[in-house]
Amino acid sequence: MKTFKYIFLSIIACMAMSIHAAEDTLTFVKTDGSTETFSTAGLTITYDDFAHVVVTNDEMSAMIDLADVDYMCFGDDVQPHITGDVNGDMQVNIADLNAVINVILGGQAIPLADVNGDGNVNISDINAIVNIILIQ
């Protein structure tokens, strides 16, 4: 399943490059909310293997681990990350709480489930989401 995600992201990147040629930046938004932005001047994206791509432009070259990429966008389309929004629906609610509980019980790992940023997904992350919900 992960291999399909990597191939899909790479194909979309190549197609999007031709569609969005007028945009001046390409941004990879990572699952932890951080970003890597590249100028599109001289931009090329090539496969290193099925899990990585090499992004090269007139200024630099960088290897991107596709497992860490949540989405990518051209121009100023970067969406903000909301702390506690584990499922990516731009809200913090019971669905995010359920997602963290599922991770704790052995479900699929979700990097954003580490809400408090301590490197572990546990009861502290549940408490963090409850606190966010209560102060909304």
CB 11 within 8 A of CB 3: no
- Pick from 18, 40, 19, 104: which is nearest to 28 by CA? 40
Three-state DSSP state, 130: helix
Confidence of residue 19 (pLDDT cuts 50, 70, 90): very low
Question: Does the pLDDT of residue 80 top 70, yes or no?
Answer: no
C-alpha Rg value of the chain to the nearest Å: 17
- Pick from 49, 41, 53: which is nearest to 12 by CA? 53
Average pLDDT over residues 66-78: 73
pTM metric for this prediction: 0.48
> E strands along 88-135, which residues?
none
Cα–Cα distance measured from residue 35 to residue 52, given in angstroms and rounded to the nearest whole number:
16
Question: Does the pLDDT of residue 124 top 90, yes or no?
Answer: yes
Domains assigned to the chain:
2-74 (2.30.30.100), 94-135 (no CATH)
Confidence of residue 40 (pLDDT cuts 50, 70, 90): confident
Average pLDDT over residues 55-67: 85
